Structure formats: C-alpha cells, structure tokens
Amino acid sequence: SQTIHQWPATLVQPVGSPLSLECTVEGTSNPNLYWYRQAAGRGLQLLFYSVGIGQISSEVPQNLSASRPQDRQFILSSKKLLLSDSGFYLCAWNRLGTDTQYFGPGTRLTVL
Amino acid sequence: RKEVEQDPGPFNVPEGATVAFNCTYSNSASQSFFWYRQDCRKEPKLLMSVYSSGNEDGRFTAQLNRASQYISLLIRDSKLSDSATYLCVVPPPGGQNFVFGPGTRLSVLP
C-alpha cells in the first residue's frame, strides 16, 4: 500500500530564517506531487505541483520554492521566512492518470 | 465567479438529522469531483468520488448536476463523529492545478 510522510510535524521559526520541509511517498512510482498551504480557518491553496523529477510548476508568486530531487521526494524551501508564511503545509500525491489525491499528515509552521 | 464555491456554514445539526451541502463549480468541462473531510488540525481525507450522476456510501450520498454545475453531499442520520469540515474538490480536465473549495463546517450536536 502507498503511504506519504511529512516532517517535521510542527515547526516554529523566526522571521528571516530558512525553511526546508520534506515529503516522501512510498509504494508507488512516478507520482504527481503537490504542496498546499492552509492558513488558519482558510481553504487549501495550491503552491506547487510536480509531474516528474526536476519538473516543478508554481501556482502563486511567493518567497517559497520547491524541488523534486528524487521520484518520490518533494521538498518545500524558503531562504527567508515571512510572518505570512505561517500555516499548515500539506503534501499530496496522486497516481499518474488518476484524479484522486491523498494527503500527508502535514507540517504546522509558525513564524514568529 | 470563483472556480469552486461551497456553502460557508457552519451547519449545526442535532444527532440523527439529515444535512446537505452544496458545491458549485465554474468549469463546465470538469469530469470528476470529490468530497474530502478534514478534522480539526488534520489532513483532508477522501470521503467520496463522483464521476457520473452520483455515488452512495452508507449514510453518505453525493449527487452531481451537470446542467447547473453543482454537486451536493447528503449525510443521513448524522453522528457526532461526522463533525468536521467538508471540502469539495474539482480537478481540472487534463491539468494538475486541483481547486479546493473553502469548505463547509459541520457540527453535530448531542
């Protein structure tokens, strides 16, 4: 069966510090991968998606970036965090050719 | 018009009640639709998928109205454990930029 992991589960970072969140998927090959952010009390906002190694599409302008160094690894980064980067970051995947997305447990980021 | 809109809620219903939420979408070419539930401070989890006119799974029924471009979720005999936020998702035809609705919050009261 397929599983998706995210870490860390929670993170408190000062403004201006760097960020690296990691997501890995097990039990499948060549998944589509996604990063979403959910601000407190708000809906999910798609940040990035990837259909393959090194292929990243960005949905919104921001100070975040994403990378996919391996088939089942997706990383979200920032060089300098802003207060507005606080939120619940969710990684998701779906099998190529299907529409059903499955989510990881998320990382709750607080920028102070 | 936003791509995906949902009843804002919150819906506060007593145990045993029947409750329905609506979700409207703007892309008439959309072919598949999903309902997810999200518990507080947790990740969304797939509840139901809808590819044709509707789908039923126990107490949950999803119906699709292509002419009016909305899908609904009906919950019968509500349980306390049904309390959550329900998200409507409309994948883009041939694309990857999935659009989630803002969610409808349901509270089932004892």
Nearest CA to CA, how far is B55 from chain A (Å)? Answer: 15
Q: What is the pLDDT of residue B1?
A: 65
Q: What is the pLDDT of residue B57?
A: 92
Question: Strand, helix or coil at B93?
Answer: coil
CB contact under 8 A, B98 and A43: no
Tell me the pLDDT band of B91, cut-offs 50, 70 and 90.
Answer: confident
The residues, any chain, with a CB within 8 Å of residue A26's CB and separated by 6 or more, are A2, A3, A4, A5, A72
Residue in the structure block whose two tokens are 């860390």: A8
Look up residue A31 and give its two tokens. Answer: 């998944």
Nearest CA to CA, how far is A53 from chain B (Å)? Answer: 16
CB contact under 8 A, B97 and A49: yes
Chain B residues interacting with chain A (CB cutoff of 8 angstroms):
32, 34, 41-46, 49, 87, 89, 91, 96-103
Q: How far is CA B89 from the centre of its chain?
A: 8
pLDDT tens for residues B66-86? 999 999 999 999 999 999 999
**What does pLDDT average to over chain B?**
92
Residues on chain A touching B49 (C-beta within 8 angstroms):
99-100
Q: What is the pLDDT of residue A87?
A: 95
CB contact under 8 A, B97 and A108: no
Q: Is A30 on the interface with B (CB under 8 A)?
A: no
Tell me the pLDDT band of A21, cut-offs 50, 70 and 90.
Answer: very high
What DSSP string runs through B41-59?
TS--EEEEEESSSEEEETT
Which of A21-25, A46-50, B7-11, B42-46 comes out lowest in average pLDDT?
Answer: B7-11
Q: What is the pLDDT of residue A91?
A: 98
Compare CB distances from A32 to B49, B87, B96 and report the shortest one's residue: B96
Long-range pairs of A64-72 with CB within 8 A, sequence gap ≥ 24: A64/A19, A66/A35, A68/A33, A71/A29, A71/A30, A71/A31, A72/A24, A72/A25, A72/A26, A72/A28, A72/A29, A72/A31
The mean pLDDT value for A37-54 works out to 91
CB contact under 8 A, B49 and A51: no
CB contact under 8 A, A49 and B87: no
CB contact under 8 A, B97 and A59: yes
